Every structure is written in structure tokens, then in C-alpha cells.
Amino acid sequence: MAGIGLEQRITRLLSAGNAEGGFPMALVCTEQGLLVAASGDLSPCEDLAALASLFDDVVSRMRRDMEMTAIDELAVRDGRVGRFVIRPLVLRTHERMFLVVHVPPALTWRRTTNRLCVALLAELDQLCVNESGGPDDA
């Protein structure tokens, strides 16, 4: 996907993940809840990006109250609309971004989001190389 910008490459990956998983929407955002790229039904994107910024709050409470230490995703489920799944993307610089997908009722997401996370990290880690003085193809 060289020759196009990073946002377009991420958007293409999100679109492919939406098609594969049957997701109406997927997005990537920063830890602060700022939208990086999105694909699909964009109406809830800003709210969902902001929701991802709460990931650390929930994980901290789960660690403290439930002694859970290896949380790799959060899912919020409503029987009518399905799930919103939040997966952290830890870059080689140790910065984090998040993948958020809308999973309709009765659909699975884990295999698709696993593949999507790997592909997104490859693109986002390339950005880290570019920012540290490596070749720039973004």
C-alpha cells in the first residue's frame, strides 16, 4: 500500500476488516480519544473514540478489584445493537492507540480483530520508524 498516506492505508485496513467480520464500523483512535481513521457508519465515531480513552480506568479497576492483569480487550454489549469491542494497539515506542469495532448481535469478532490488529500495528509501527528518522513513505 506504499504511495498513499497512512490515514488512507489504515482506512483501507479497517474497511477490509469491516467486510470480513460483518462490522458496520471500525476506527482507530489515540489514548486521548482522538480519531485517527475510521470506516463504515461514522455517526458514532467521535463518541466511541472518547469511550476508548476510558480503557485505562476500566483496566485499573479490574486489576485492583478483580486481580486481572492480562486484559487485552474490553467489550460493551447491548442485546439490541450488539457489542463495541475496544482492543489496544501497543506500538514499538510503547505508545498506545485503540481499535474499536461495532459487532452486530450474533457475530464473532476475535479472529478478524486479531488479524486487523496485526496489520494495523505494522502500519502504525512504520510511522514510528518514520518519525525517528527512518525512510518516510507515509
71-84 per-position pLDDT tens digit: 889 998 998 989 99
Q: Is residue 111 part of a domain?
A: yes
Q: Which residue has the higher pLDDT, 19 or 80?
A: 19
* Cα distances (Å, whole numbers) of residue 75 to 42, 58, 116, 125, 137: 19, 11, 16, 25, 34
* Structure confidence at residue 130 (pLDDT): 56
Chain centroid to Cα 79, Å, comes to 22
- Report the pLDDT value the prediction gives residue 128, as an integer from 0 to 100: 64
Residue 1 reports pLDDT greater than 80: no
Q: Is residue 124 included in any domain, yes or no?
A: yes
Share of the chain above pLDDT 70, in %: 89
Is the residue at 93 inside a domain?
A: yes
Tell me, yes or no, whether 135 lies in a domain.
no
Domain tally, the chain: 1
- Look at residue 137 and tell me if it is in a domain: no
Question: How high is the mean pLDDT of the chain?
Answer: 86
Residue 67 falls within a domain, yes or no? yes
